[in-house]
Structure 1
Amino acid sequence: MNGVTGRMGHRQHLVRSILAIREQGGLPLPDGTVLWPEPVLVGRSEAKLRGLAETHGLTRWTTDLAEALAGADVYFDAQVTNQREKAIRAAIAAGKHVYTEKPLAEDLAGSLELTRLANQAGIRHGVVQDKLFLPGLLKLKRLIDGGFFGRVLSVRGEFGYWVFEGDWQEAQRPSWNYRAEDGGGIILDMFAHWRYVLDNLFGRVRSVQCLGATHIPERVAEDGTPYTATADDAAYGLFELEGGIIAQINSSWATRVFRDELVEFQVDGTEGSAVAGLRRCRIQHRATTPKPVWNPDVPATIDFRSQWQEVPDNTEFDNGFKAQWEMFLRHVYAGEPFAWDFLAGARGVQLAELGLRSWREGRRIEVPELTA
Structure 2
Amino acid sequence: MPETTYRILMNGVTGRMGYRQHLVRSILAIRDDGGVVLPGGDRIQVEPVLIGRNEEKLARLAKEHGIAEWTTDLTQALADPTAPIYFDAQVTSERKDAILAAIAAGKHVFTEKPTAESVPDGQELVDAAEAAGIIHGVVHDKLYLPGLAKLKRLIDSGFFGRILSVRGEFGYWVFEGDYLPAQRPSWNYRAEDGGGMVLDMFCHWNYVLENLFGRVEAVTAKAVTHIPERWDEQGRPYSATADDAAYAIFELEGDVIAQVNSSWAVRVERKELVEFQVDGTHGSAVAGLFDCRVQPRVRTPMPVWNPDLPTTEDFRSQWDAVPDNTDFANGFRAQWEQFLADVHAGRPHRFDFSAGVRGLQLVDAGYASSREGRRIELGAREVTA
TM-score (norm 1): 0.99
Letter in 2 for 1:22: R
The equivalent of 1:85 in structure 2 is: 96
The aligned runs of 1:177-188 (5 Å cut-off) are: 177-188=188-199
Matched, 1:49 2:58: yes
The aligned runs of 1:187-198 (5 Å cut-off) are: 187-198=198-209
Cα shift readout 1:232-278 (whole Å, capped 9, x = no counterpart): 00000100000000000000000000000000000000000000000
The aligned runs of 1:275-290 (5 Å cut-off) are: 275-290=286-301
The aligned runs of 1:49-198 (5 Å cut-off) are: 49-71=58-80, 72-198=83-209
Q: RMSD between aligned alpha carbons?
A: 0.8
User: Are the counterparts in 2 of residues 214 and 232 from structure 1 also a CA contact under 8 Å?
Assistant: yes
Letter in 1 for 2:286: V
Displacement of 1:30 in angstroms is 4.2
Mapped partners of 1:128, 1:237: distance in 2: 22
Mean alpha-carbon deviation: is it higher for 301-310 or for 133-142?
301-310
Displacement of 1:32 in angstroms is 2.6
Mapped partners of 2:126, 2:72: distance in 1: 26
Displacement of 1:203 in angstroms is 0.4
**Which one of 16, 24, 28 corresponds to residue 37 of structure 2?**
28
Matched, 1:18 2:30: no
The aligned runs of 1:262-281 (5 Å cut-off) are: 262-281=273-292
Contiguous gaps of at least 5 residues in structure 1? none
User: Are the counterparts in 2 of residues 30 and 334 from structure 1 also a CA contact under 8 Å?
Assistant: no
Letter in 1 for 2:284: S
The equivalent of 2:7 in structure 1 is: none
Matched, 1:371 2:383: yes
TM-score (norm 2): 0.96
SS of 2:328's partner is: coil
Mapped partners of 2:178, 2:22: distance in 1: 30
Mapped partners of 1:370, 1:68: distance in 2: 35
Letter in 2 for 1:85: K
SS of 2:223's partner is: strand
Mapped partners of 1:294, 1:33: distance in 2: 61
Mapped partners of 2:309, 2:23: distance in 1: 55
**Which one of 228, 233, 237 corresponds to residue 222 of structure 1?**
233
The equivalent of 2:15 in structure 1 is: 6
User: Are the counterparts in 1 of residues 135 and 346 from structure 2 also a CA contact under 8 Å?
Assistant: no
Moved over 4 A (4+): none
Displacement of 1:337 in angstroms is 5.0
Displacement of 1:124 in angstroms is 0.6
User: Are the counterparts in 2 of residues 76 and 100 from structure 1 also a CA contact under 8 Å?
Assistant: yes
Check 1:243–1:158 CA distance in 2 against 1; reply closer, same or farther (3 A cut).
Answer: same
Displacement of 1:24 in angstroms is 1.2
Mean alpha-carbon deviation: is it higher for 69-78 or for 239-248?
69-78
Letter in 1 for 2:66: G
SS of 1:39's partner is: strand
Contiguous gaps of at least 5 residues in structure 2? 1-9
Mapped partners of 1:187, 1:43: distance in 2: 26
Mapped partners of 1:28, 1:302: distance in 2: 50
Cα shift readout 1:163-218 (whole Å, capped 9, x = no counterpart): 00000100000000000000000000000000000000000000011001100000
**Which one of 211, 221, 246 corresponds to residue 235 of structure 1?**
246
Mean alpha-carbon deviation: is it higher for 175-184 or for 294-303?
294-303
The equivalent of 1:322 in structure 2 is: 333
Mean alpha-carbon deviation: is it higher for 214-223 or for 24-33?
24-33
SS of 1:264's partner is: strand
Displacement of 1:35 in angstroms is 1.4
User: Are the counterparts in 1 of residues 135 and 349 from structure 2 also a CA contact under 8 Å?
Assistant: no
**Which one of 303, 306, 311 corresponds to residue 292 of structure 1?**
303
Mapped partners of 1:118, 1:92: distance in 2: 6
Matched, 1:342 2:370: no
Mapped partners of 1:239, 1:207: distance in 2: 6
Matched, 1:301 2:312: yes
Displacement of 1:336 in angstroms is 4.8
Mapped partners of 2:205, 2:348: distance in 1: 23
Cα shift readout 1:263-314 (whole Å, capped 9, x = no counterpart): 0000000000000000000000011101011101001121111110000000
